[in-house]
Amino acid sequence: MGFTLKPVRVGICGFGTVGGGTFNVLERNSKEITRRTGRAIVVEQIAQRRPNINCDTGDTSITDDIFAVANNPNVDVLIELIGGHEPAKELVLTAIRNGKHVVTANKALIAVHGNEIFEAAAKHNVVVAYEAAIAGGIPIVKAMREGLAANSIDWLAGIINGTGNFILTEMRDKGRAFADVLQEAQELGYAEADPTFDVEGIDAAHKLTILSSVAFGIPLQFDQCYTEGISKISAQDVANAESLGFRIKHLGLTRRTPEGIELRVHPTLIPEKRLIANVNGVMNAVLVEGDAVGPTMYYGAGAGAEPTASSVIADLVDIVRDMSLDQTVRMPSLGFSPETMSDSPILPMEKVVTAFYMRINVSEKPGVLAQITQILGDAGISIEAIRQHTHVSAQVPVIILTRPVVEGHMNSAIAAIEALADVSGEVTRIRVENLGG
């Protein structure tokens, strides 16, 4: 070829941790990236609220108006890194209407407004790429949408929030209390001043909602995702799980069943021998079970400047390759043709089948355990293991592991157990997943 394709010009909106990382990786690896795309990528404009001290932006055009980037005729691709719902949604829709491709790391935006955004992108024949929205630098969307495209995916399970995983890892390694470790996570910058999104599972639910749609070809339904946090997990539960051969992880799980799709984020006991049970600290991992390939696992840094930039730029590279081909056909945003999207319902939690760990505080007197096992037996719940701990007071903790049971039956049994005169307080219950291939 005698001529050189002109550079692709990029606008970055949001120049914090990820924006700065994206700029730096683009600069540092520009030769390698150009070798992969066949054309240069140039940062045309940056929208920032304050300068990023980790970046030398040279003579790049800088503005404090994100919409100036979306409306800049010289920008081919807009990278949205401002986060949140608004003005991010209006920014992305403006860029799409202006015929620009979009790369985003905004999981809340895609999980809640993705259906509308993807429809607009299809109408204007542009790409909205969102690999960086889930699990930082791990290319999980590409893996499922492309690498596992031959498979019918049965289920996937992920540790997709580094903050929660760091807290549970510290609780296990050092026997510390939740509140104590949360404070340290905030001091280390792993947790926000308001840690609700991380510790209550909302962040993981955003990501799981997207993964479930990519896995099963269903519309994004964040409002249907069951979400339970880790703030009630005690050091005692972490130690008990360990003694039974399990680890507690804050797990996002989505599974295809004949009745519907399970979509749930909650603390979970996982057998300690599973690879995913040994993912510690702020690391992320996603385990995907496909019918042809069996179980595959994807592990890596779930956050951070350059790991997330790695995913942002990977999406950018895909778009640039596409632009060079002048395509009129785009890969569907969720990997399934829009007209073939499934209307499988999301399964309500009371219909989900899972095993349970229970911790029940009972009075130290004969016959109490018999009453509890009678209630479980009457509800058709089989017991896998039972332990009565040595006691230092009149209250004795009893630990019960059940076999898989319909959650609705479990709810009724727990209500009956809590009503017993010799049971004090609420029953602690944590779901158990085997995650075997």
> Which active-site residues does the annotation give?
207
What is the C-alpha to C-alpha distance for residues 159 and 280, in angstroms, rounded to an integer?
A: 9
Tokens of 405: 């049971």
* Location of structure tokens 């401002």: 82
Quick one: DSSP state of residue 145?
A: I
Alpha helices in 57-106 (DSSP H): 66-70, 88-97
Instruction: Write the CA distances from 96 to 76, 116, 117, 306, 332, integer angstroms.
Output: 11, 12, 9, 26, 15
- 301 with 282: CB under 8 angstroms? yes
DSSP-based three-state secondary structure for 337: coil
* Location of structure tokens 């792993």: 190
Alpha helices in 87-201 (DSSP H): 88-97, 107-123, 140-142, 162-174, 178-187, 196-199
What is the C-alpha to C-alpha distance for residues 178 and 377, in angstroms, rounded to an integer?
A: 34
Instruction: Write the CA distances from 311 to 18, 42, 152, 315, integer angstroms.
Output: 10, 17, 25, 6
* Location of structure tokens 């989505």: 254
What is the C-alpha to C-alpha distance for residues 336 and 349, in angstroms, rounded to an integer?
A: 26
Gyration radius from the chain CA atoms: 24
What is the C-alpha to C-alpha distance for residues 279 and 297, in angstroms, rounded to an integer?
A: 11
What is the C-alpha to C-alpha distance for residues 52 and 385, in angstroms, rounded to an integer?
A: 55
What is the C-alpha to C-alpha distance for residues 164 and 185, in angstroms, rounded to an integer?
A: 9
